Amino acid sequence: MSPLTYILGFPFLAALVILLIPKNYRFLIRSVALVGSFLSLVVAVSVFANFGSAPAIDGFKFQQMVPWIERAGISYHVGVDGINIGIILMAAVVAFAATAMAREIKSNEKEFYLLLMVMEGGILGAFVSLDLFLFYFFHELALVPTFIMIGIWGRGPDKNYATFNITIYLSLGALISLIGLIALYVQSGANSFDLIVLTRHIQQNPLTLASQQVIFPLLLFGFGILVSLWPFHTWAPLGYGAAPTSTAMLHAGVLKKFGLYGLIRVAMPLLPEGASTWLNVIAILALGNIVFCGWVAMRQRDLNLLIGNSSVAHMGFIFLGIASLTTVGVTGAVVVMIAHGFLAALAFGLNGYLYNQTKTLNIDELGGLLKKMPFIGTAMIMAMMAGCGLPGFANFAGEALVLFGSWKAFPVVTGIAIWGALVIGAVYMLRAVRNVLHGPDDPHWNEVKDAGLWPKIPFVLLIVALLTFGFVPRLLTEKIEPAVVELLKMANKNKPANPTVAVHGQISSENFQ
């Protein structure tokens, strides 16, 4: 049995055990959830560490395939390559951190942890699946608990509005992407949802240009809505602002990457001619994320809404890297996906801890908290600096690669993106640090407490991950690059020579030392 099955299976097993435990056994319920997510993390770390030495079949390692609905070409098929190995590790880390942060839930704990485990299993299942049917199915399995958790355990006066808003947007995005995936299955004629079979068939029998020009925008905007692509982004800050801490950490950190992963894994390589007509549009919309959402973040007086809009702004760099269709740019996009997962989980986790202590995230009401909460304050400063793209954090490595990779293709857009990152991002992040953590002591916060030993663990884990991949990004890039090169060979196939979209060669590992 593949270790990938254990990675996604442990949370589902924990959910099953929790289902059988009486609801008044709260400590036991929490313990089962933590053990399930921890075991998943241990296996994910092992898979990441042994990735280089594992044999590959058709470019994927640790594969397991079990036929399911053979007439429709649906099977349980899992595997990893350089594109998703880092994402799986990040997802497992964030899942454990989110489970540890779920201690804030005090009502209906059994139901919450049950949904949390299903959400984690669905997230991990989506990213290890090589069958497009299960790829989509696992995503929906993770998405439904999101709606329920915000509706029942969410906070704030706009909780109900945020719940309906996020449900409508994400359901619409999921529906559009489903139509695109079904159209791809039908038009390909491969009679299989298996990604390897589908890819091999389409390489031998490319889809017509007319088909690609219909299917690619369906996947682009379907996945784009799920990722909060501008201007379909307004659900994200509201949803995260109203969500329980663990839910916001998981969705903003991991589940939102589903659409980006789908574009890189499915849409770009299998629909190259359809994609080529949309590259400029993707780059411009990415700029909307970076600049417009950055401006909106500058106006926020609620810390969760500020982080939510900042999270949406960071998605622009990933879209820009994808649109570049260069090895450097797409590799950087994958690195940003991983780095942003750690950062979003850290930021929303810190906001959740701060809210539980102060009962407010209004920036104007906070101040002087660094003296009262030195660990949380320091962790928050590090999160804000990582959000600014400070060297030493993984975000810097990814964003730098994206900007280098996209410069030749979109020099004007890239120049504006640099300004947005260096100026707009720095303004709202540094201003938040000043207003929340510095300034005179406020007697209102004399009773707040800094994090104890156990609450520090998820924050330390996420910070260590950001710093590790920030100082040694080649731990990721050496795995990502070969897979990106292969995908770009398909994405650039049958196109006229064009320096703005051609693969500019492999990345030397010396560039990341």
Residues 311 and 350 in one domain: yes
Residues 254 and 306 in one domain: no
Residues 172 and 122 in one domain: yes
Q: Residue 80: what are its φ and ψ, rounded to 5°?
A: -135, 150
**How are beta strands 56-57 and 74-80 bridged, if at all?**
unpaired
pLDDT for residue 493: 64
Residues 120 and 215 in one domain: yes
Residues 432 and 462 in one domain: yes
- Residue 45 has a CB neighbour count (10 Å cut-off) of 13
Q: Which helix (H) or strand (E) holds 47?
A: helix 26-49
- Percentage of residues in the chain having pLDDT higher than 70: 96
Residues 309 and 183 in one domain: no
**In the predicted structure, residue 499 carries a pLDDT above the cut 60:** no
One-letter-per-residue 3-state SS of 326-383 = CHHHHHHHHHHHHHHHHHHHHHHHHHHHHHHHHCCCEHHHCCCHHHHCHHHHHHHHHH
Is residue 213 exposed (0-12), middle (13-18) or buried (19+ Cβ within 10 Å)? middle
Q: Which of 276, 309, 334 is the last residue of a domain?
A: 276
Instruction: pLDDT band for 509, please (50, 70, 90 cuts).
Output: very low
Residues 242 and 304 in one domain: no
Q: Which of 276, 295, 328 is the last residue of a domain?
A: 276
Residues 340 and 363 in one domain: yes
**Domain count of the chain?**
2
| C-beta separation of 410 from 396 below 8 A | no
Residue 358 and residue 334: Cα distance in Å, rounded? 36
User: How many CA atoms are closer than 13 Å to the CA of 403, on its beta-carbon side?
Assistant: 18
Containing domain of residue 424, as a range? 278-513
pLDDT for residue 502: 36
Residues 86 and 181 in one domain: yes
Q: What is the pTM of this model?
A: 0.90
Residues 28 and 92 in one domain: yes
pLDDT digits (tens, 9 = 90+) for 367-416: 888 888 899 999 999 999 998 888 899 999 999 999 998 888 888 988 88
| 357 Cβ contact list (under 8 Å, min separation 6) | 373, 448, 449
pLDDT digits (tens, 9 = 90+) for 46-87: 999 998 888 888 889 899 989 888 787 888 999 999 899 999
pLDDT for residue 480: 92
Which amino acid is present at 304? N
Residues 298 and 237 in one domain: no
**In the predicted structure, residue 495 carries a pLDDT above the cut 80:** no
Tell how far CA 10 is from the center of its chain.
21
pLDDT for residue 367: 83
Residues 335 and 266 in one domain: no
Q: Which of 237, 260, 276 is the last residue of a domain?
A: 276
pLDDT digits (tens, 9 = 90+) for 423-472: 888 888 888 888 888 877 777 777 888 888 888 999 999 999 999 999 99
Structure tokens at 370: 């660094």
Please name which of 310, 500, 319 lies closest in space to residue 420, comparing C-alpha atoms. Answer: 310
